[in-house]
Structure 1
Amino acid sequence: MKNDLPAPGNFTPTRRRLLGLGVMVAGAAVLNVVPGFQLLASAQAAVPAAAQKIADHFSSVKTMSGEFVQFGPKGEQTGGKFFLERPGKIRFNYDGASNFRVISDGKSVVILNKKLNTSDLYPLSKTPLKLLLDDRIDLSGDRVKSVKEENDLTTIQLADKNVFGNSRITMMFDPKSYELRQWTITDAQGKDTTVMIFNVKEGVSFAADTFAIDYAANREINTNGSNR
């Protein structure tokens, strides 16, 4: 799988691209990370077969890695590398001096900022990121809020109000190759974070500690922080 997008330094998105395509990364309300998305018409009772086929293909990809460009709610742009292992595991290594990391180990999501020495921990099940990382992306039931099929893009929006409130995730796929191009997470306040991925490789292997979360260090950082 190879998505050829320009490197972060050369990428100059237009407002129409961001708003019209609807882009993002994970649990914006919780993670404060992920893209502006224009809500599509409600999905019909029967999800298009082509959409489920795309979702099944993406679900079959158990590991992948690549690079990403992320756009925040105010248009701020960052980039880095990502690593994904289904079910439930993902890691974002951001470029820059902050050494910013977002890691999910299948149960929890931690946001690390080593420069500021902060470590924020959340249940994966309470973020829209869970829907992206499920073992199988099931489009049945009322989790599907919209499906839009176009010649060059298939857009699927998922939400689960009982789990993470009014947040939602919008995934965009190539309708021919079934490759994931980008996703947007919209938080409860309607703010979007978009992640576009490129130079993607499938079927990759990872070191055993790639998705490890140091829970003891998290407790220590937050205990010391609360005593300041």
Structure 2
Amino acid sequence: MKDDLFGATIGLTMTRRRLLGLGLMVTGAAAVNVVPGFLPVAAAQASVPPAAQKIADHFSSVKSMTGEFVQFGPKGEQTGGKFFLERPGKIRFNYDGANNFKVISDGQSVVLLNKKLQTSDLYPLSKTPLKLLLEDRIDLSGDRVKSVKEEEDLITIKLSDKQVFGNSTITMMFDPKTYELRQWTITDAQGKDTTVMIFNTKEGVSFAPDTFKIDYTANRELNVNKGMR
């Protein structure tokens, strides 16, 4: 259970590495294959399609959002719950199920919290692909863009930041008409995917001050106590 997070699912088997597995743990490599409909790396960097940048700009302009999500892990595991997003850097996932599992980013760190198992795993946000999703502005320039795929009903943008989290990537899928984010997939260094689909979303919402709060003292105490067992 402790080992699966974003990357698999709560209530089913999950690996901590996958939620930061959502995909978040990184390293690894992978050259982008040239797939029909995709711009290869060099072309994507040289000329980002205007529609893709417009969509990225629109999503960047969404400063707060809430809704429901369904998550699919690398082995087909499925779970769901509610999410809360506040740009820049803040997101919270409350997973359904008896484990009372939560993932919270306060803009600096990401914590994976399982109250039933009394585990609290902390990671720097800057070292996870979630950083690209939660930035104040999604910048498609430079070498972050791995590929852009335009279809009639979907625009797919694949991003990475090798200097920050190796060859893990985040692939975001948007509605080309409404510019709404539909889902994202985080691929880890081993090529394992964790996909999150969102729905029933509301934008421009306000949250309680403690929505994205991480209790760093409780985190330290849990991990100290765990080390003494």
Task: Please report the RMSD computed on the Cα atoms of aligned residues, expressed in angstroms.
Answer: 1.5
Structure 2: distance between partners of 1:190 and 1:61? 30
Matched, 1:154 2:143: no
Aligned length: 199
1:32 aligns to what?
21
Distance 1:30 1:96, change over 3 A: closer
Structure with higher RCO (Cα < 8 A, 6+ apart):
1
Matched, 1:214 2:219: no
1:134 aligns to what?
135
Structure 1 segments of 4 or more deviating over 4 A? 27-30, 38-41
1:116 aligns to what?
117
Please report the TM-score for the alignment, with normalisation by the length of structure 1.
0.84
Identity %: 80
2:104 aligns to what?
103
Conserved? CA contact 1:156–1:171, under 8 Å:
yes
Q: What do residues 201-222 of structure 1 show as CA deviations (whole Å, max 9, x unaligned)?
A: 0000000000000000000000
Structure 1: distance between partners of 2:21 and 2:99? 16
1:47 aligns to what?
48
Conserved? CA contact 2:71–2:195, under 8 Å:
yes
- Runs of 5+ unmatched residues, structure 2: 1-15, 24-31
Structure 1: distance between partners of 2:95 and 2:19? 18
Q: What do residues 4-45 of structure 1 show as CA deviations (whole Å, max 9, x unaligned)?
A: xxxxxxxxxxxxxxxxxxxxxxx96561335xxx96542412
Secondary structure (helix, strand or coil) at the match of 1:219 reads: helix
2:144 aligns to what?
143
Q: What do residues 151-186 of structure 1 show as CA deviations (whole Å, max 9, x unaligned)?
A: 000000000110001110000000000000000000
Q: What do residues 70-99 of structure 1 show as CA deviations (whole Å, max 9, x unaligned)?
A: 000100000000000000000000000000
Conserved? CA contact 1:28–1:193, under 8 Å:
no
Specify the code of the residue in structure 2 equivalent to 1:119: S
Conserved? CA contact 1:29–1:188, under 8 Å:
no
Structure 2: distance between partners of 1:50 and 1:32? 29
Conserved? CA contact 1:29–1:186, under 8 Å:
no
Secondary structure (helix, strand or coil) at the match of 2:71 reads: strand
Secondary structure (helix, strand or coil) at the match of 1:58 reads: helix
Distance 1:72 1:158, change over 3 A: same
Structure 1: distance between partners of 2:158 and 2:222? 36
- Runs of 5+ unmatched residues, structure 1: 1-26
Structure 1: distance between partners of 2:88 and 2:73? 26
Conserved? CA contact 1:29–1:189, under 8 Å:
no
2:224 aligns to what?
223
